[in-house]
Amino acid sequence: MKNWSIIAEGFHKEDVPKHESIYSLGNGAMGMRANFEEDYTGNTLQGSYIGGVYYPDKTKVGWWKNGYPEYFAKVLNAPSWIGLHIKINGEVLDLNTCTEVKNFRRELNMKEGWYERQFTATLPNQQEIQVKALRLLSLRHDELGALRYEITPLSSEVTVEIESYLDSGVKNNDANWDELFWNTLDVGVVQDYYAYITAETKKTRFKVHTFMHNTLRLLGDQPHFFSPSKKNKKDNYVGLQYEVSVPAGKTIRLDKFGGYIISKGEEFWVSPNGLTMYEREKYIGYTLTERLNAFDFLLKMQKKDWAAIWELSDIEIEGDDKAQQAIRFNIFQLNQTYSGKHAHLNIGPKGFTGEKYGGSTYWDTEAYCLPFYMATKGAEVARNLLMYRYNQLDKAIENAKKLGFTGGAALYPMVTMNGEECHNEWEITFEEIHRNGAIAFAIYNYVRYTGDEAYIKDYGLEVLVAIARFWAQRASFSAEKQKYVILGVTGPNEYENNVNNNFYTNYIAQWCLRYAADMVEKYEIEKQWIHPQEIILWRKIAQNIYFPYSEKYGVYLQQDGFLDKDLKPVSAIPAEERPLNQHWSWDRILRSPYIKQADTLQGFYFFRNHFTHEELRKHYEFYEPFTVHESSLSPCVHSVLAAALDKKEEAYALYLRTSRLDLDDYNKEVHEGLHITSMAGTWLSIVEGFGGMHVVDNQLHFKPCLPAHWHSLSFKVIFRGQLHVCKFVN
């Protein structure tokens, strides 16, 4: 257990897809799974992704319903620049066919931002070689990645053939219609060492120039670099092939730079001799010395840039290596996924580590991720996350219109890339309307935390008003109850569909209506676009909204009729039937009381200061026993609340579950990618849970509750432009 590194030793074929996720790299603009560079015929999920470059995959459903989106926008598997075909005396290097693989080791160095893999392999022709591969995706240069690949023959002098290539014939595993998403426009070799593929996404027409730059040399010799003996160009492929005789014990080193230059519409910058702008940059210069030193230079920059990130965002836990390593892994992955440089990018639930969830934006961003970026990066980065939704307001209004809402009401999509809804299951698309609440709550949370009130006037208000208009139309008056009700919804707990009066949804709707009304009155009442009657109506609905409540238990009910269920706790379910979603029929899940993720308690998390300690305790103790935490977004919220209730052991168990979810593969699905957005929840469970950080009356408060075996907990937060260094000692 290393505090700053994730290390895996030993080659186990069944672990390959899982480790491809865990050892993924990203720089906020692009990312890649830890696929082997050389050929591998075993089980693998190939994945390289570019932020914001997506494809509208035509929706495929069994039974079409009016209002379904026509497509699901997904981040594409991008052309690959990392690949190498390697032959040793004519035999392909493929760990799946090697007769022996020894000293296999992967290391993800989180402090410095690189990933290294080493092994010693015996090929079927009995040749034994040692390989070391070091990779990084540059934080400083969005478009640039680098690989250093070294081969040392151990048995005898061998002929090493290396074909370093680019490949745009890539597919998405999750393509609905098994289509290729890229059209290759141009394949070229410009110099002995530089080649590219220009490809365009179908329909969305993002043009991507994938490039590579190679330098091959024998170590120990005078600087000498080899030229490729062959250049292989095909429709979707370009390779530079080298053939070198390497004596036993000597090392051949390939430094490969690669990445993407992206354009939508405009032409790429191309110099008169056909080279891209990278050739002009000094870190991949023209001179031999520059070319030989480029990798080391980039690595040095990388260490410096990561040091700057850690300076603000590191969390130190003394007395618990497991917890320490886990929180760093989570912080590292969050920084790999989103840098905050660009308002058109966002945080996909799996970041750049897999295809699931299509790289699209979910309510996860507002409900879970925003606080992390606000506190560790400051207001500008967090503001970009809000601007993403502001820029998509027109689309959200259009989306509501498609469903029959009028007068500028907005329903933000549950899943989106460009502002349009792209989820196509009715219970999520049409019913999980609580997401609108999280988007409004994020504005409130941002302003309360950063003090940037101007955001409301300049942008936030328009979003709040459109959201309030939606709730005012979505709530309906029940003559029976003489109250406003919200019918036919799905709350955050997706193990219940089409329920009436989900407490969380009703509560956040009520809060949105009041908050929007308050903000309109504070800033904009004179504006023409809001009629005073609207504000009166919003307040009336908010005042008279209905909440299901049980006198017997003294708790708000998750929804109407919750107490009719067979209320056996999760502990009564045999272990072999968990997770339920892999063992029970959907019908059985829907009828059960089991809660996929924090639902009523999500409301208690957001609005903790609306409730007394006793109310929180009752609700936590009522709902936790029914919660199966089968969404990765769940244990973190419960952990924060358990810490608030001083339930240290429970809070700690839930913390380990959230923070080591991927490292220890709790849900047996890490091969599909990492749970990036829930990693922000892990940060919440430390800072807001064990640190007890919360904002009251524009001030930062802490109520620490450290697990008994921790000696200390330290972290930094930026609050209203000031850096606060926090250390709590047990």
| Beta strands per DSSP E along 190-331 | 194-201, 207-218, 230-234, 237-246, 252-263, 315-318
Which of 68, 363, 444, 690 touches ligand BGC (CB under 6 A)?
363
**Secondary structure of residue 159 in the 3-state scheme:** strand
- Residues 605-625 as b/e (b if ≥16 CB within 10 A, e otherwise) read bbeeeeeeeeebbbbbebbbe
Compute how many residues bind ligand BGC; rule: CB under 6 A: 12
Task: Find the binding residues for ligand BGC in span 628-657 (CB under 6 A).
Answer: 631, 633
Which residues, at least 6 apart from 73, have a Cβ–Cβ distance to it below 8 Å? Answer: 54, 55, 56, 57, 358, 360, 416, 417, 418, 420, 422
Looking at the Cβ atoms of 364 and 421, the one nearer to ligand BGC is 364
Instruction: Write down the least CB distance from residue 368 to ligand BGC, Å.
Output: 9
Looking at the Cβ atoms of 399 and 677, the one nearer to ligand BGC is 677
Looking at the Cβ atoms of 109 and 360, the one nearer to ligand BGC is 360
Answer yes or no whether residue 677 interacts with ligand BGC by CB under 6 A: yes
Please state, in angstroms and rounded to a whole number, the distance separating the CA atoms of residues 498 and 502: 10
Residue 626 CA neighbour count, 13 Å, CB half:
26
Answer yes or no whether residue 368 interacts with ligand BGC by CB under 6 A: no
Looking at the Cβ atoms of 409 and 633, the one nearer to ligand BGC is 633
CB 110 within 8 A of CB 6: yes
Instruction: Write down the least CB distance from residue 631 to ligand BGC, Å.
Output: 4
| Structural tokens at position 169 | 């014939």
CB 315 within 8 A of CB 329: no
Name residue 606's beta-bridge partners.
none
Please state, in angstroms and rounded to a whole number, the distance separating the CA atoms of residues 46 and 80: 9
Instruction: Write down the least CB distance from residue 602 to ligand BGC, Å.
Output: 9
Residue labelled with tokens 């101007």: 454
In DSSP notation, 303-333 reads: HHHHHHHHHHH-EEEET-HHHHHHHHHHHHH
Looking at the Cβ atoms of 400 and 633, the one nearer to ligand BGC is 633
Distances (CA, A) of 192 to 185, 222, 240, 559: 21, 20, 8, 67
Distance of CA 180 to the CA centre of its chain: 24
Instruction: Write down the least CB distance from residue 44 to ligand BGC, Å.
Output: 24
Which residues, at least 6 apart from 725, have a Cβ–Cβ distance to it below 8 Å? Answer: 714, 716
In DSSP notation, 652-711 reads: HHHHHHHHTTTTTTTTS-GGG---HHHHHHHHHIIIIIIS--EEETTEEE------TT-S
Answer yes or no whether residue 365 interacts with ligand BGC by CB under 6 A: no
Instruction: Write down the least CB distance from residue 493 to ligand BGC, Å.
Output: 8
Instruction: Write down the least CB distance from residue 492 to ligand BGC, Å.
Output: 6
Residue labelled with tokens 């807001």: 688
Please state, in angstroms and rounded to a whole number, the distance separating the CA atoms of residues 76 and 50: 7
| Structural tokens at position 631 | 């969404």
Q: Helices 321-337 & 288-313, crossing angle to 10 degrees?
A: 120
Instruction: Write down the least CB distance from residue 460 to ligand BGC, Å.
Output: 22
Please state, in angstroms and rounded to a whole number, the distance separating the CA atoms of residues 515 and 521: 10
* Region from 202-210, 296-304, 360-368, 651-659 binding ligand BGC, contact rule CB under 6 A: 360-368
Instruction: Write down the least CB distance from residue 435 to ligand BGC, Å.
Output: 8
Q: Taking the CA atoms of the chain, what radius of gyration do you get in angstroms?
A: 27
Instruction: Write down the least CB distance from residue 438 to ligand BGC, Å.
Output: 10
Task: Find the binding residues for ligand BGC in span 330-359 (CB under 6 A).
Answer: 349, 357
Cα three-residue angle 49-46-145, rounded to 5 degrees: 50
Looking at the Cβ atoms of 377 and 423, the one nearer to ligand BGC is 423
Looking at the Cβ atoms of 164 and 631, the one nearer to ligand BGC is 631
Taking alpha carbons only, the member of 322, 316, 308, 332 closest to residue 115 is 332
For residue 79, say if its preceding peptide bond is cis, omega within 30 degrees of 0: no
| Structural tokens at position 728 | 């709590």
Active site residues: 494
Phi then psi for residue 125, to 5 deg, are -85, 15
Instruction: Write down the least CB distance from residue 305 to ligand BGC, Å.
Output: 28
Instruction: Write down the least CB distance from residue 422 to ligand BGC, Å.
Output: 13
Answer yes or no whether residue 360 interacts with ligand BGC by CB under 6 A: no
Q: Which helix (H) or strand (E) holds 506?
A: helix 503-519
**Type of residue found at 233:** K
Site string for ligand BGC, 571-610 (x = CB under 6 A): -------------------------xx-------------
Task: Find the binding residues for ligand BGC in span 384-403 (CB under 6 A).
Answer: none
Looking at the Cβ atoms of 347 and 475, the one nearer to ligand BGC is 347
Which burial class, exposed, middle or buried, applies to 518 when counting CB atoms under 10 A from its CB (0-12, 13-18, 19+)? middle
Which residues, at least 6 apart from 335, have a Cβ–Cβ distance to it below 8 Å? Answer: 28, 309, 313
Looking at the Cβ atoms of 668 and 709, the one nearer to ligand BGC is 668
Answer yes or no whether residue 362 interacts with ligand BGC by CB under 6 A: yes
3-state DSSP of 381-444: HHHHHHHHHHCCHHHHHHHHHHCCCCCCCCCCCCCECCCCECCCCHHHHCCCCHHHHHHHHHHH
Instruction: Write down the least CB distance from residue 429 to ligand BGC, Å.
Output: 13
Site string for ligand BGC, 467-506 (x = CB under 6 A): -------------------------x-x------------
Looking at the Cβ atoms of 162 and 640, the one nearer to ligand BGC is 640
Looking at the Cβ atoms of 51 and 258, the one nearer to ligand BGC is 51
| Closest residue to ligand BGC using C-beta atoms | 349
Which of 116, 128, 364, 452 touches ligand BGC (CB under 6 A)?
364
Looking at the Cβ atoms of 214 and 365, the one nearer to ligand BGC is 365
Instruction: Write down the least CB distance from residue 236 to ligand BGC, Å.
Output: 32
CB 199 within 8 A of CB 184: yes
Looking at the Cβ atoms of 200 and 432, the one nearer to ligand BGC is 432
Binding site for ligand BGC (CB under 6 A): 349, 357, 362-364, 492, 494, 596-597, 631, 633, 677
